[in-house]
């Protein structure tokens, strides 16, 4: 019995690896094109950190006219969830991240380098495992969990590194006849790599994000094929990223420690290794200390949160690009109207330590994003959100013509309103524009002028003597100044400041009274526009 016989005994029916090498030829792409992927396990939950990785990968592929594909890593079938793939595809779609290749829903895919679901690639992995066995680079291992426990406890007693390596292995040097005998007898086994590594030697690695890292060589005889015939993550990574032509592996930095093993696998399989870019996790301040954004503790860790809150996808994308490359913020200031496609994201400018997730900042970015929307765009998006999440708002928006006027206040000008960060804010921002939501007898806070008679006088005189719905803005404002003067207030703030004793207050105090009386708020967008939209008849009912 030689290596070849053993390999045939273990994998009698698989296709030769040469078949796959031919089936998946090198990609014909322009120089510098990045081929990369998003490779989640379908566990039913998409973390904002995963979306961040997917976004970065998608963006650099797009920028370089490369390929971004979606590969589903479902070899750990215990962790799988029903409709997990569609959940991922839909989450990506929600943010406009559309893979060039890969899974498109639970069971469908596009592209020439598939299947893009690992559980459908069993034969492929096995044919490469067979090659390794034939070459004496992998072997069947029959160690039971009990034996592995025993090895571990011996290592602990001897104060040595734990794991399956070197002198501690039991099956590495098993005579081939004996191994064949056990297989024929139906004993359970897995396939392990016969690692040629020596941890006293160092390998140098240059990560695109993390920079130079030296690692000891890997000497662990890691499992490549499990007892269910499926590969481990490590083995599937090497085989898939080779056959799919990945040039750059962009993934979470929890994998950085596996780089020596992965480089060894590529080498032993005779593959060219890809470049690696390991992304640090997204962090959050918790009191004084930083920690990872947690699926359990932080609702904003789930991508579904953003949709539920009505934060536009564009805002989330802008914010994530912002934390990926800090120079984006300046670029955005200089190019407020350019599409994000025109910004070049650079992997090597990403932070080595985890970016801090700041919801206040995200909402701020979102306010700017929404400030550039037309009233029609705000209306459409808010209504779509409201139909799913807030029936009261949906009802308010049912009068489209009026709602467009409301949403159009201070919009489309040089300094547009910036008070909306998410669709779930809107109801509270515009309710006073709707008579059935505005309570004219509410407890309003009048700010500076609080005397009831004074307030009543201001409002009455204004509507009796000055108000004319056909006034343009300048006339309207001059009249408020006239009213101020009549009531003993300064026409201009600076006049008041120069001589405060001479006045009861200034024009701003007067307009605040009108604002609060008519809206219940002392902080609103432009009062002139608000009054125009509400109109005379309804304004008079409010006083
Ligand atoms: N399935 C792995 C994970 O979800 C993928 C890592 C990779 O991108 O290679 O962590």
- Parse the chain into domains and list their residue ranges: 3-15+122-279, 438-543
CA 402 vs CA 371, 394, 430, 504: distances in Å = 19, 13, 12, 38
* pLDDT for residue 242: 98
Q: Shortest CA distance to 71 belongs to which of 87, 85, 56, 91? A: 85
524: closest CA among 412, 466, 444?
Answer: 444
pLDDT (0 to 100) of residue 15: 93
Per-residue pLDDT tens for 287-336?
899 999 999 999 999 999 999 999 999 999 999 999 999 999 999 999 99
Question: Does the pLDDT at position 139 exceed 90?
Answer: yes
**pLDDT recorded at residue 80:** 67
**Tell me: the pLDDT tens digits for 326-368?**
999 999 999 999 999 999 999 999 999 888 999 999 999 999 9
This prediction's pTM: 0.91
pLDDT value for 11: 98
Confidence (pLDDT) at 79: 66
Mutate which of 39, 51, 275 to test ligand 1's pocket (most atoms within 8 Å of Cβ)? 39
* Torsion region of 119: left, alpha or beta (phi above 0 gives left; psi -120 to 50 gives alpha): alpha
Compute, in angstroms, the gap from residue 249 CA to the centroid of ligand 1: 10
Distance 37 CA to ligand 1 centre (A): 10
Q: Give the dihedral of Cα atoms 375, 381, 387, 393; nearest 10 deg.
A: -40
Work out the burial of residue 72: count CB atoms within 10 Å of its CB; fewer than 13 is exposed, 13-18 middle, 19 or more buried.
Answer: buried
User: Residues near ligand 1 with C-beta < 6 Å?
Assistant: 39-41, 73, 237, 251-252, 255
User: At the topology level of CATH, where does 438-543 sit?
Assistant: Arc Repressor Mutant, subunit A (1.10.10)
Nearest residue (CA) to ligand 1, atom 4: 40
In sequence order, which ranges of 411-535 are alpha helices (DSSP H)?
A: 423-430, 452-461, 473-486, 493-498, 507-519, 527-534
Q: Probe ligand 1: pick from 85, 252, 265, max atoms within 8 Å of CB?
A: 252
For residue 35, report the phi and psi dihedrals to the nearest 5 degrees.
-105, 120
pLDDT of residue 71: 98
Task: Say if CB 375 and CB 401 are below 8 A apart.
Answer: no
Percent of the chain at pLDDT > 70 equals 100
CA–CA dist 142, 139 (Å, integer): 10
Is the torsion defined by CA of 226, 228, 229, 231 positive or negative? negative
On the question of a common fold for 3-15+122-279 and 438-543, the answer reads no
> In this predicted model, what pLDDT tens digit does every residue of 155-170 receive, in sequence order?
999 999 999 999 999 9
Would you say residue 44 has pLDDT above 80? no
DSSP category for residue 218 = P
Please state, rounded to an integer, the average pLDDT across all residues of the chain: 95
CB 177 within 8 A of CB 1: yes
Lookup: tokens for 369 = 């994003």
End-to-end alpha carbon distance in the chain: 100
Q: Could you tell me the distance, in angstroms and rounded to a whole number, from the CA of residue 475 to the centre of ligand 1?
A: 64
Question: What is the CA(261)–ligand 1 centre distance, in A?
Answer: 15
**Residue (of 45, 58, 71) closest to 97 by Cα position:** 58
Helix (H, G, I), strand (E, B) or coil at 284: strand
What pLDDT was estimated at residue 395? 97
Residue from 251, 254, 257, 281 whose mutation best tests the ligand 1 pocket (most atoms within 8 A of CB) = 251
Q: How far apart are CA 206 and CA 215, in angstroms?
A: 11
Q: Which residues contact 304 (CB under 8 A, 6 or more apart)?
A: 46, 91
The rounded Å distance from CA 359 to ligand 1 centre is 26
Ligand 1 centroid to 179 CA: how many Å? 33
- Cα(74) to centroid of ligand 1, in Å? 10
* CA Rg value for the chain: 33
Q: Are 38 and 92 in contact (CB under 8 A)?
A: yes
Token duo for residue 60: 């650099």
Instruction: Report the DSSP pairing between strands 109-110 and 101-103.
Output: antiparallel
Question: Helical H runs in 372-506?
Answer: 375-389, 391-396, 400-407, 423-430, 452-461, 473-486, 493-498
Atom of ligand 1 nearest to the CA of 53: 8
> Is it the case that residue 111 has pLDDT exceeding 70?
yes
Assess whether pLDDT exceeds 70 at residue 179: yes
Question: Three-class SS string for 10-30?
Answer: HCCCCCCHHHHHHHCCCCCCC
Atom 5 (ligand 1): residue with closest C-alpha?
A: 39
Query: Relative to the CA of 254, which ligand 1 atom is closest?
Result: 10
Q: Beta strand pairing status for 101-103 and 67-70?
A: parallel
Q: Which atom of ligand 1 is nearest to the CA of 250?
A: 8
The closest residue, in CA terms, to atom 1 on ligand 1 is: 40
Q: How many residues does the chain have?
A: 543
Q: What is the b/e burial string over 41-56, where b = at least 16 CB atoms within 10 angstroms of the residue's CB?
A: bbeebbbbbbbbbbbb
- Token look-up 């201001």 returns 458
User: Between the CA of residue 496 and those of 258, 437, 490, 505, what are the distances in Å?
Assistant: 70, 37, 5, 7
How close is the Cα of 355 to the center of ligand 1, in Å? 20
Express each pLDDT in 185-236 by its tens digit.
999 999 999 999 999 999 999 999 999 999 999 999 999 999 999 999 999 9
3-15+122-279: CATH number = 3.40.50.620
d(CA 261, CA 234): 8
Using the mean position of ligand 1's atoms as its centre, give its distance from the Cα of residue 303 in Å: 18
Counting atoms of ligand 1 from 1, which one is nearest the CA of 37? Answer: 8
pLDDT the model gives residue 446: 87
Largest Cα span, the chain:
110
> Which residues touch 327 (CB under 8 Å, ≥6 apart)?
349
CA angle at 103 for the pair 102 and 104, rounded to the nearest 5°: 115
Q: What is the share, in percent, of the chain residues with pLDDT greater than 90? A: 93
Average pLDDT over every residue of 112-123: 97
């Amino acid at each position: 019995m030689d290596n070849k016989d053993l390999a045939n005994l273990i994998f009698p029916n698989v296709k030769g690896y040469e078949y796959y090498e031919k089936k998946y030829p090198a990609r014909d792409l322009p120089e510098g094109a990045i081929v990369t992927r998003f490779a989640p396990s379908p566990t039913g939950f998409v973390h904002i950190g995963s979306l961040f990785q997917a976004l970065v990968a998608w963006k650099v592929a797009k920028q370089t006219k490369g390929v971004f594909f979606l590969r589903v890593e479902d070899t750990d079938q215990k962790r799988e969830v029903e409709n997990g793939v569609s959940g991922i595809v839909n989450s990506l779609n929600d943010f406009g991240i559309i893979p060039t290749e890969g899974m498109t829903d639970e069971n469908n895919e596009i592209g020439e380098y598939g299947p893009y679901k690992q559980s459908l690639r069993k034969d492929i992995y096995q044919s490469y495992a067979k090659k390794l066995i034939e070459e004496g680079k992998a072997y069947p291992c029959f160690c039971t969990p009990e034996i592995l426990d025993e090895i571990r406890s011996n290592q602990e007693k001897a104060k040595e590194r734990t794991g399956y390596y070197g002198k501690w292995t039991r099956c590495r040097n098993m005579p081939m006849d004996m191994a064949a005998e056990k297989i024929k007898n139906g004993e359970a086994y897995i396939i392990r790599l016969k690692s040629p590594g020596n941890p006293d030697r160092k390998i140098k690695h240059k990560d695109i994000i993390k920079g130079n890292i030296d690692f000891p060589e890997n000497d662990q005889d890691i499992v490549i094929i499990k007892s269910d015939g499926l590969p481990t993550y490590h083995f599937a990574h090497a085989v898939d990223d080779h056959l799919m032509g990945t040039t750059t592996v962009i993934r979470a930095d929890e994998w950085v420690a596996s780089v020596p093993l992965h480089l060894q696998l590529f080498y032993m399989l005779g593959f060219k290794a890809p470049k690696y870019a390991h992304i640090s996790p997204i962090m959050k301040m918790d009191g004084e200390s930083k920690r990872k954004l947690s699926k359990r503790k932080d609702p904003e860790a789930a991508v579904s949160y953003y949709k539920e809150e009505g934060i536009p996808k564009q805002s989330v994308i802008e914010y994530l690009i912002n934390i990926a490359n800090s120079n984006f913020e300046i670029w955005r200031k200089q190019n407020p109207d350019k599409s994000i496609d025109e910004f070049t994201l650079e992997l090597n400018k990403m932070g080595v330590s985890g970016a801090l997730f700041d919801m206040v900042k995200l909402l701020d970015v979102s306010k700017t994003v929404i400030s550039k929307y037309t009233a029609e765009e705000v209306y459409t998006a808010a209504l779509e959100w409201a139909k799913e999440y807030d029936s009261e708002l949906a009802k308010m928006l049912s009068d489209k013509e009026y709602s467009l006027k409301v949403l159009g206040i201070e919009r489309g000008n040089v300094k547009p309103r910036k008070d909306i960060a998410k669709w779930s804010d809107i109801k509270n921002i515009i309710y006073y524009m709707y008579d059935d939501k505005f309570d004219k007898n509410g407890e309003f806070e009048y700010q500076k002028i609080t005397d009831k008679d004074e307030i009543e006088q201001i409002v009455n005189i204004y509507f009796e003597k000055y108000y004319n719905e056909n006034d343009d803005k300048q006339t309207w404002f001059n009249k408020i100044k006239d009213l101020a003067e009549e009531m003993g207030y300064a026409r201009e703030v600076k006049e008041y400041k120069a001589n405060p004793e001479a006045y009861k207050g200034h024009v701003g105090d007067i307009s605040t009274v009108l604002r609060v009386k008519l809206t219940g708020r002392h902080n609103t967008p432009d009062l002139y526009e608000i009054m125009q939209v509400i109109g005379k008849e309804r304004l008079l009912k409010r006083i």
